[in-house]
Amino acid sequence: MRQYKKVLLGVASIVLIIVLAACGNIDDSSSSTSSSGKKTTSVQTTGQVSKSEYAGVIKNGHYLTSKARGLTANRNSNSLNITSFENGLLGVSKSYYSTSNYIFQEGQYLTTAKLTNWLGRKSKSNPTGLNPKDNGKKNSSRNPIYVESIEEQDFMQKNGNSLVLKGITIGIAMNTIDYYQKIKYGATYQQTITSKERVAYGKKVAKLIVERMRKIKKIGKNVPITIAMYKQAANDSLVGGSFYAKTQTTSSNISNWEKMNVENKVFPEISSTSDYASNDNKSFENFQSQIENYFPTISDVTAQAKYVNKKITGEQVTITTQFYSETEIISFTNFIAQVAPKFLPSGVPVNITVNSANGIQAFLSRSSTQRNFKSHVFSSY
C-alpha cells in the first residue's frame, strides 16, 4: 500500500506564540473584555498590506495555519506543481472572493486525518478513499491514482467579535501521469491518464467532496463552495501544471463547470511548433542570446510564461550564472535592465532572477504598468 506523506514539511497546525498586538496594522477590533477586566483577544486579522492581497487570520495571537497542508498521494511529485497549485488556487479564489471584502483563512475544515483517507484508494479499511480500488494489476490496465492533492482555503467576514465563514475554495489536483512501482523501492513506471478520463473522474470526485463538506456542521448547507480543478505537470516538467475548470455551488450539487484555458510554457521551447506562444518564444530567444554572451560562463537562461485564453499574463525569467564579482554583477544587472524591455512582453508582470551556485545575485521586476525594470543586487557588508 502507498504511504501518504506530507510533502516537504507539514508542521502545519501548531499553535504559535506571537505578540501581534504590538503591530499597528493588526486589526484588533475583535478583542473582548472579560468580566475580570482582563483583555482576552480572540480573533484578529493581520491587516491588509496591499489591495491585491488578503488579510489573514490571527487566532489567540498566533497565525492560524492550515489543518492539512501539502498532503499529496504520491511523494515524488514535482515541487513546481505544489507552488503552482497553491499560487494558482489563490488566484482562482480572488476571482470569487474579493481581497477587500474577505479575510483569508488557511483551511480549517479538512483535517490531515480526513484528507489522508480521501487521497487513498477506496478499500474496506478506507471507505472514504477518492481514488479507485486497487484492481491488482501492475500494468496499464491498473486503476491509476487520479487524485493527487486537495487543498482548502477559507474566506471569512467579520460579524461583531467573531469571524464568520462566507466561502470556501477547494482545489483538486489531478494526475495526468500516475507514477508507480511494481515492487517496493523498484523502478518507477508511468501510466498516462487521458484528458477525458481525468476530467470525468475529477467531476465525480468534486461532487463527492461537495456532498461530504455539506455534512460538516460548521460549514452548513449554503456557504458558497468554489471548486478548482488542476492538472499536474509531469515530474520532469520545468513548469507547474495548470487549472482547467472551476465552478461554485451554494448547494450539494454542481450544476455546471466553467472551462479555464490556462497553459504554462517553458522558453526557449524545445520544438518550435508555431502556436500562440511562438512570437513570445522568439522574442525570448533574442533576449537569451543577448544575455548568454555577456559573460563566458552563463549556463542557463530560461523562462516560464503563463497564458490565459492564449494571451500571455506574465513571465518569470531565471538566469543562472557562475559567481562574479560585485562590479560585474552590478554591470550585468544594468545590462539586463536595458535589454529586457526590448524583448520581454510588455503589459504583464515580468520577474527576472539572476542566480549562482551561491544563491540569488540580483532580482529585476516590472509590473504590468511599468516600462522600466526595477533592480536589486544582493550584497552583504
Residues 338-377 that bind a second copy (CB under 8 A): 338-339, 342, 351, 353, 355, 358-360, 363, 365, 375-376
Cell of 43: 480573533
Q: Which stretch binds a second copy (CB under 8 A): 29-37, 86-94, 124-132, 170-178?
A: 86-94
Smaller CB distance to a second copy: residue 35 or 52?
52
**Which range of residues in 160-168, 214-222, 252-260, 326-334 is near a second copy by CB under 8 A?**
326-334
Site for a second copy in 144-183 (CB under 8 A): 153
Distance in angstroms between the alpha carbons of the first and the last residue of the chain: 53
CA dist 102 and 154 (Å) reads 9
Interface with a second copy, residue 69, by CB under 8 A: yes
Cβ-based nearer residue to a second copy, 23 or 254:
23
Q: Which is nearer to a second copy, 20 or 245 (CB)?
A: 20
**Which of 86, 134, 197, 269 is in the footprint of a second copy by CB under 8 A?**
86
Q: Is 112 near a second copy (CB under 8 A)?
A: no
Sign of the alpha-carbon torsion through 175, 180, 185, 188: negative
Window 239-268: residues binding a second copy (CB under 8 A) = 239-240, 264
| Residues contacting a second copy: total by CB under 8 A | 79
- The residue from 188, 323, 347, 368 that contacts a second copy (CB under 8 A) is 323
Instruction: Give the integer Cα–Cα distance in Å for 72 and 131.
Output: 12
For position 205 contacting a second copy by CB under 8 A, the verdict is: no
Binders of a second copy in range 34-53 (CB under 8 A): 46-50, 53
For the segment 8-27, give every residue that binds a second copy (CB under 8 A): 8-9, 11, 14, 16-19, 22-26
Dist. CA 257–CA 250, nearest whole Å: 14
Binding region for a second copy (CB under 8 A) out of 163-171, 224-232, 246-254, 333-341: 333-341
Name the residue nearer to a second copy (CB basis): 81 or 214: 81
Q: Which is nearer to a second copy, 129 or 173 (CB)?
A: 173
| 11 grid coordinates | 508542521
Shortest distance in whole angstroms from residue 201 CB to a second copy: 25
- Asked if 294 interacts with a second copy (CB under 8 A), we say yes
Q: How far apart are CA 136 and CA 133, in angstroms?
A: 9
